[in-house]
Amino acid sequence: MNEPTIHYGAQSQLATQIQTHLFLLCPNNSGSTFLIRVIENNPNIWSLIREGQHVPGYAGPRARGSNMHLRWASTPEERARYRDSNSYDWAKIKQAWYFQATASNKDATIFATKAPPFLLIADMLETNFINPKFIIMVRNPYAMAEGIMRRYPSSRDMLIQIATHILNCFEIQAENIEKLQGRCTFFTYEEMCVEPEKITKKIQTLEPTLQNLEFDKPVPVKGLYNEPLTNFNARQIEKISKEQIDILSEEFSARSHLIERFGYKLL
């Protein structure tokens, strides 16, 4: 079998070729890696091998290396770090992204990328990129919490910080949905897992050229697994102890309207 041809942005004039910029706004540990892998398999997509914040030459704040990695929405100071427009050099960012982008079709006209903290700066993305469009997604807060917890000691203080991060992400996503009306589509991780055909139609309504979205094929995710679309919520939530559930629920209950806003329930 012949290997698919790969075209490189370094050999193209993407600054003038790209007609649409597609950004996936999704909190960390919420399924965004699987979704961006499905999207980037489309022949009309230029994409990056890494998250937009992690490619060499990215000139802006990044989560990796910070002591708030995976919890960057939990404090006002950390949110302000990302929202400081002076911290970004968008000309250099575009140059780095376009140079390192790849596509299966050299004539592709959409550039797609994601990085969880980008949900904090939708306004900057909207201002600095031609024809920006946004896919907004959230996931069950307990499953999201488990994905973060396994990277840190699960002390009470840490669980409270994780819960605060998740609640703030939900609040910001609700704001993004309102502010980006007409330029975004929204769905949950659970809807993507249960009704991929419905999600395909939502994405294609936002961007009609994306005609080849294959959710039923195995996708490599972070070197951890290579499977077709699978809902991992139940197996992840089972790993959380009752004591941990109680701490998370206590924190979630303080802003339960955000949990309910996206169709979830307190445990």
Per residue of the chain (267 residues), give pLDDT as tens. Answer: 456 789 999 999 999 999 999 999 999 999 999 999 999 999 999 999 999 999 999 999 988 777 788 999 999 999 999 999 999 999 999 999 999 999 999 999 999 999 999 999 999 999 999 999 999 999 999 999 999 999 888 899 999 999 999 999 999 999 999 999 999 999 999 999 999 999 999 999 999 999 889 898 877 766 555 677 889 999 999 999 999 999 999 999 999 999 999 999 999
Task: Tell me what pLDDT residue 226 has.
Answer: 67
What values do phi and psi take at 137, rounded to 5? Answer: -140, 150
pTM: 0.95
- Amino acid type, 164: T
Task: Tell me what pLDDT residue 221 has.
Answer: 66
Helix, coil or strand: residue 69: coil
Q: Which residues are CB-contacts of 90 (< 8 A; sequence separation ≥ 6)?
A: 59, 124, 128
Report the relative pairing of strands 102-103 and 184-188 from DSSP bridges: unpaired
Alpha carbon of residue 45 to chain centroid: 17
Q: What does the CA dihedral 245, 227, 36, 41 come to, rounded to 10 degrees? A: -170
Q: Are 200 and 213 in contact (CB under 8 A)?
A: yes
Task: Tell me what pLDDT residue 211 has.
Answer: 86
> What is the rounded distance in angstroms from the CA atom of residue 261 to the CA atom of residue 35?
22
